């Protein structure tokens, strides 16, 4: 019997080919897994927030349109009022920042809002604009309630599905919801993805006509959760990553 062993050169060539193939396929596999994980977490937090609203509606025996909103005070005070009255009693909260920024979670910047790199640091308590909760699954929920463009009953939430871990980027692990969608254009008795329009198809979020209503690399990702929901809670092939 003749046994032919591989030469060192042949082994090195084979290893080189394996390395090239791995370098080409691994990033795509990692990205696919990241998308799957963030998508699952995004839906979990979305449902968690809406379930909290449902429990609050049962507790108060009325729809959200009849709820009490703080009519005066700073946005921080209004946000704390909404959080303490309606959300915190119905969520598993492991940290409530109130006015504090003493911990990493409470001072967390929730990432890039659009292609220009602006962020939601204005939501942080020290800016007197909003307050922050940390949920038992480590998600960070930043709440802004009252006096949004003159509307005292608007409630907007930015949430980071995996907390202080990266990438902390809008449309990846950071998403926005608002009561009724953007400016209450939808069902005002639930949180809807920011920019959501029930009268539009999915292409609405890709045409880039207004930066805060799109889900594109070029024009912003604020409405990416709306684009995901429009696609049956999936990130389609053209999803900006």
Measured distance CA(112)–CA(121) in Å, rounded: 10
pLDDT of residue 213: 81
Asked if 68 contacts 59 with a C-beta cutoff of 8 angstroms, the reply is no
Mean pLDDT of the chain: 81
Residue spans of the domains in the chain: they are: 30-230
Asked if 80 contacts 131 with a C-beta cutoff of 8 angstroms, the reply is yes
Alpha helices in 83-202 (DSSP H): none
Facing residues of 170 across strands? 174
Q: Summarize pLDDT for 36-52 with one digit per residue, the tens.
A: 999 999 999 999 999 99
Q: Summarize pLDDT for 216-233 with one digit per residue, the tens.
A: 888 788 899 999 999 999
pLDDT of residue 36: 92
Element (H, E) at 174: strand 174-179
User: What's the pTM value of the predicted model, to 2 decimals?
Assistant: 0.82
Measured distance CA(14)–CA(68) in Å, rounded: 69
Is residue 90 scored above 90 in pLDDT? yes
Q: Which residue has the higher pLDDT, 198 or 186?
A: 198
Asked if 177 contacts 53 with a C-beta cutoff of 8 angstroms, the reply is no
Asked if 129 contacts 101 with a C-beta cutoff of 8 angstroms, the reply is no
Q: What torsion, rounded to 10 degrees, do the Cα atoms 46, 150, 128, 118 define?
A: 60
Asked if 104 contacts 69 with a C-beta cutoff of 8 angstroms, the reply is no
Q: Summarize pLDDT for 128-182 with one digit per residue, the tens.
A: 678 889 999 999 998 988 766 556 678 889 999 998 888 888 899 999 999 887 6
Backbone φ and ψ for 160, nearest 5 degrees, come out as -110, 115
What DSSP string describes 224-240? HHHHHHHTTS---TT--
Helix (H, G, I), strand (E, B) or coil at 90: helix
């Amino acid at each position: 019997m003749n046994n032919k062993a591989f030469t060192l050169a042949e082994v090195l060539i084979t290893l080189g080919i394996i390395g090239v193939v791995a370098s080409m396929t691994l990033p795509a596999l990692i990205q696919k897994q990241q998308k799957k994980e963030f998508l699952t977490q995004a839906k979990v937090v979305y449902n968690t927030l809406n379930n909290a609203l449902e429990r609050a509606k049962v507790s108060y025996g009325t729809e959200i349109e009849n709820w009490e909103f703080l009519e005066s005070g700073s946005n921080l005070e209004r946000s704390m009022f909404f959080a303490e009255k309606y959300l915190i009693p119905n969520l598993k909260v492991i940290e409530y920042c109130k006015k504090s920024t003493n911990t990493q979670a409470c001072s967390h910047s929730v990432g890039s809002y659009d292609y220009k790199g602006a962020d939601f640091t204005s939501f942080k308590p020290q800016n007197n604009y909003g307050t922050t909760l940390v949920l038992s699954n480590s998600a960070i929920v930043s709440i802004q309630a009252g006096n949004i463009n003159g509307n005292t009953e608007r409630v907007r939430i930015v949430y980071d599905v995996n907390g202080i871990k990266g990438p902390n980027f809008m449309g990846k692990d950071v998403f926005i919801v608002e009561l009724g969608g953007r400016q209450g254009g939808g069902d005002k008795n639930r949180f809807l993805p920011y920019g959501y329009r029930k009268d539009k198809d999915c292409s609405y979020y890709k045409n880039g006509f207004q930066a805060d209503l799109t889900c594109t690399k070029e024009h912003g990702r604020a409405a990416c959760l709306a684009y995901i929901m429009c696609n049956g809670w999936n990130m389609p092939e053209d999803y900006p990553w």
